[in-house]
Structure formats: structure tokens, C-alpha cells
């Protein structure tokens, strides 16, 4: 998705390379390879590792339509649970770096969101909804880009702007799409460059404790274009607790075709801080809006 708005200036600070030694350190963060040639070196066996190691969408994931409930107070390592942990409640802000991205043979993805080493900025909001702690609708915002409009961009890009018609006129006149690339971490309904309607719905939602202090949230959505199903998209979010001010986030986004074979897989990761307001200000400046306008117009919370 591309948010086509007025440009802003500024650069992202580099990602921290190690945990804060003054915080509780349940497990050292991973150091995935930053090249397309090798697989990322993650540190636990969870859904992220399953997707990295396989090119097929699991039938088990497709069959399970609702999260498992687990009312036990004491959780064993690897337990399915009904909710993300309450210590995540609140807002967290930071930068997520694309550290690994692969596509199936014959598939080309020129979208900047999936470019290795590109850095997105995000504010994540966790809150209790219906008795469950959930990650509310979230969007990652990348640096401003100018994209030549080719068939691949036309097929895959949804427009988010105050005036879709004016954006289309700009593209027709210049052949270039200029704006802020975004990556929504949820189902998305929108309009493509050609006016095609995109819709999606959640097929699977599960939370799993991999070990104390490490939780993984797996969401699978089905996507339709003009009413015809064309894609599965899976979001796996892993959060490692480093105390009340810091968490380490890993996000794997995988696309699977109708045949359930992988089309693309991308891993982003980075530190998230409880002092989220400066991050929100950077996002707002990039979009030339107030943060309140960003929240309202981009459907995030």
C-alpha cells in the first residue's frame, strides 16, 4: 500500500545493536542475515521458523478458525493462550528493519516495503478488547519513495489518500507514484490504482507463548480482488520482553497463492520503546499531518 501525501524530510536513527544491559534479559535477540541468499537465524522454534523453512501454507493453519482458549494460570513453554500478555498493554514506538526478503522463482517484487535494509517506523498499540489483549490495527510507515508505475505496481498497490481521483490524475500525467509506502499489519479493504476493489478477512488468529517473556501472534487473512479470491497473507508477530520500557519485535509477512505455495516472505525486526510519542511525531512529520490525523485517516489506533 502507498500513502500518497505531501513529502516530509528526516532520517531514521540506526537500530540498536544489543539489548540494554540494565534491563532484564530473558534471551539474546537474534541476528538474522541481511542478505537474500540465506535464511534468517532466529532463536526459537515457532511459526516464524516454520514459514522460513517451508514454501507451503500449513493445512493446520487453514483449518483452525478461532484462537484456542487456555484458562490455566501456569503456562508451559509453547502453550496456546487466549490473549497476548497484559504487560504489553499500552503504546510502543520504534523502527523495524527489513532484514530478510525472498520471492518465489519468476516473481519480482519492486515495492519498497519488501526491500532488504529498508526501515519502517511504527507505533504499536496494545489494549484489552473483549477480554483479550490485542494488537490494535497497525501500519508501518516507510521513507518517501518515487515509484515508476509498471504492471506489478498496478496489480499490487492500494491507494490511501484524501483524493484518490487526484492521485490517479497525477500518475497518468507523470507515470510516477510519489508517497509514503505503508505496510498494514491487519486485514485491509481498499482501492487499487485502476479502481479495483480489494477486500480481506481474518481466517485464523492464534497466540502462543514460546517461552517465558516471548510470545508469538499468528494471523492469517484471505484476500479478494473484485470479489475473486487471489491470496493468503500471514502476519506473525513475535515480542520479547526486556522490561517495562523495551521490547524486541520481529514481524514476518508471508504471501501464499491460491495453491497455498509461498509467493514472498519478509522479516522485519527492531526495538520498540514505551516512549512512543517521539516516534509518532516522526511519522506525522513524514506525512505532513498531525498524529491525530494519521490515526484517523489511516485507520490505526
Report which of 46, 15, 55 is spatially closest to residue 31, judged by C-alpha positions.
Answer: 15
Count CA within 13 A, CB hemisphere, residue 39: 11
Phi, psi dihedral angles at 255 (to 5 degrees): -110, 135
Q: What are phi and psi of 150, to 5 degrees?
A: -115, 180
State residue 170's pLDDT score.
58
Q: Where are the domains of the chain?
A: 56-290
Q: Give the helix/strand (H/E) hosting 50.
A: helix 47-53
Mean residue pLDDT of the chain comes to: 75
State in Å, rounded, how far the first CA of the chain is from the last one.
18
- Which residues, in sequence order, are CB contacts of 113 under 8 Å at separation 6+? 98, 120, 140, 142, 181, 182, 183, 266
Q: Which of 4-13, 137-146, 203-212, 250-259 has the lowest mean pLDDT?
A: 4-13
> For cell 528493519, what's the residue?
97
Q: Encode pLDDT of 31-87 as tens digits.
A: 333 333 444 444 457 888 888 888 777 765 554 434 344 444 444 456 788 999 999
Give kind and range of the element (H or E) at residue 165. helix 164-174
Q: Report helix, strand and coil shares of the chain as percent, to nearest 5.
A: 20, 40, 40
Amino acid at each position: 500500500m502507498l500513502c500518497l501525501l505531501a513529502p516530509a524530510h528526516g532520517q531514521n536513527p540506526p537500530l540498536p545493536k544489543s539489548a540494554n544491559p540494565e534491563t532484564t534479559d530473558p534471551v539474546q535477540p537474534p541476528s538474522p542475515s541481511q542478505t537474500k541468499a540465506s535464511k534468517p537465524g532466529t532463536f526459537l522454534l515457532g511459526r516464524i521458523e516454520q514459514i522460513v523453512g517451508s514454501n507451503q501454507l500449513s493445512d493446520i493453519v487453514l483449518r483452525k478458525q478461532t484462537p484456542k482458549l487456555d484458562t490455566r494460570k501456569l503456562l508451559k513453554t509453547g502453550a496456546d493462550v487466549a490473549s497476548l500478555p497484559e504487560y504489553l498493554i499500552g503504546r510502543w514506538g520504534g523502527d523495524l528493519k527489513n532484514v530478510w526478503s525472498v520471492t518465489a522463482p519468476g516473481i519480482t517484487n519492486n515495492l519498497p516495503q519488501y526491500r532488504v535494509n529498508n526501515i519502517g517506523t511504527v507505533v504499536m498499540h496494545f489494549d484489552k478488547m473483549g477480554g483479550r489483549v490485542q494488537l490494535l490495527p497497525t501500519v508501518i510507515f516507510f521513507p518517501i519513495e518515487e515509484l515508476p508505475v509498471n504492471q506489478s505496481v498496478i496489480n499490487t498497490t492500494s491507494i490511501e489518500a484524501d483524493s484518490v481521483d487526484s492521485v490517479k490524475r497525477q500518475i497518468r500525467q507523470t507515470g510516477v507514484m510519489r508517497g509514503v509506502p505503508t505496510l498494514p499489519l491487519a486485514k485491509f479493504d481498499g482501492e487499487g490504482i485502476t479502481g479495483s476493489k480489494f477486500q480481506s478477512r481474518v481466517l485464523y488468529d492464534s497466540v502462543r507463548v514460546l517461552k517465558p517473556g516471548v510470545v508469538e501472534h499468528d494471523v492469517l487473512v484471505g484476500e479478494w480482488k473484485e470479489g475473486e479470491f487471489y491470496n493468503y497473507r500471514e502476519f506473525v508477530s513475535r515480542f520479547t520482553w526486556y522490561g517495562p520500557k523495551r521490547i524486541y519485535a520481529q514481524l514476518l509477512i508471508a504471501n501464499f497463492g491460491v495453491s497455498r505455495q509461498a509467493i514472498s516472505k519478509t522479516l522485519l525486526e527492531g526495538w520498540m520503546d514505551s516512549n512512543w510519542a517521539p516516534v509518532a511525531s516522526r511519522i506525522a512529520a513524514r506525512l505532513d499531518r498531525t498524529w491525530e490525523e494519521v490515526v484517523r485517516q489511516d485507520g490505526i489506533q
